[in-house]
């Protein structure tokens, strides 16, 4: 039994309090007028009837024209399901990552396509020895999951960790990150953390 955890009894957020796209943007749903869609499909909707003998109408591809940009919520969804290395709990429910601490910085000049994603990580306690591993996990997840036009910048949130600067230095140093990912044990830990990602 692993009793020597840094924080054996962390505070937990309830899943329904975590930011999600549904709560942020209710008009996303097909019926924005208050109904929950309970009656959908009960009666044949002839206005939406599609003749099976005709090829699908071209209208369905017009929906493809609305571009849904990658936003902070999407980044949050990517990293909130990462598991904590100490607990079988997600980083989101431990409030290690939170929506307000994610920022997408658009390209500096109109010519550049490069945006930056900045994520601030809040360790559950100030002396958490695993802060670097968590930061690394977040970084690896984002580098794998975001298109190449995004630069990833993961830091420990200011004032939440006793050795925050040192950790930040480590997380910001490409060489050191690359070296860390050569370490078999560390790769194993990170893979385990990412295995719960959806």
- Judged by the rule CB under 8 A, the positions of this chain that interact with other proteins are 1-3, 5, 8-12, 14-17, 22-23, 26, 31-36, 38-39, 42-46, 49, 51-56, 58, 60-61, 63-64, 66-68, 70, 74, 77-78, 87-89, 144-149, 184, 187, 191, 194, 197-198
> Shortest gap between Cβ of 62 and other proteins (angstroms)?
10
Q: How is 142-166 classified by DSSP, letter by letter?
A: HHHHS-TTEEEEEEEPTTS-TTHHH
CB of 148 to other proteins, least distance (A): 6
Q: Is there a contact between 167 and 135 (Cβ–Cβ < 8 Å)? A: yes
C-beta closer to other proteins: residue 11 or 109: 11
- Find the shortest distance in angstroms from Cβ 168 to other proteins: 26
Q: Scan for tokens 């904590």, then name that residue.
A: 84
Residue 3 or 178: which CB sits closer to other proteins?
3
If you search the block for the tokens 């984002």, which residue do you land on? 142
Rounded least distance, CB 16 to other proteins, Å: 4
Q: What is the distance between the terminal CA atoms of the chain, rounded to a whole angstrom?
A: 28
103: enclosing H helix or E strand:
strand 102-105
Are 104 and 152 contacting, i.e. CB atoms less than 8 angstroms apart? Answer: no
Give the separation between CA 106 and CA 86, rounded to whole angstroms: 34
Nearer to other proteins, 39 or 174 (CB): 39
By beta-carbon proximity to other proteins, the closer residue of 139 and 168 is 139
Q: Smallest distance from the beta carbon of 193 to other proteins, in angstroms?
A: 13
């Amino acid at each position: 039994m692993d009793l020597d955890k840094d924080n054996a009894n962390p505070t937990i957020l309830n899943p329904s309090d975590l930011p999600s796209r549904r709560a942020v943007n209710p008009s996303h749903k097909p019926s924005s007028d208050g109904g929950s869609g309970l009656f959908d499909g009960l009666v044949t909707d002839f206005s939406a009837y599609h003749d099976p003998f005709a090829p699908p109408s071209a209208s369905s591809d017009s929906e493809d024209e609305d571009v849904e940009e990658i936003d902070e919520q999407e980044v949050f969804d990517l990293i909130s399901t990462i598991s904590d290395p100490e607990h079988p709990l997600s980083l989101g429910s431990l409030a290690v990552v939170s929506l307000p601490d994610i920022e997408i910085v658009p390209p500096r000049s109109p010519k550049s396509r490069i945006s930056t994603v900045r994520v601030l990580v809040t360790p559950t306690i100030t002396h958490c020895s695993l802060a670097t591993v968590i930061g690394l996990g977040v970084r690896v997840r984002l580098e794998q999951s975001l298109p190449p036009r995004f630069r990833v910048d993961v830091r420990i949130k200011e004032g939440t960790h006793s050795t925050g600067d040192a950790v930040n230095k480590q997380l910001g140093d490409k060489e050191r990150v690359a070296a860390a990912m050569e370490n078999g044990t560390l790769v194993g830990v990170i893979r385990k953390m990412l295995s719960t990602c959806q």
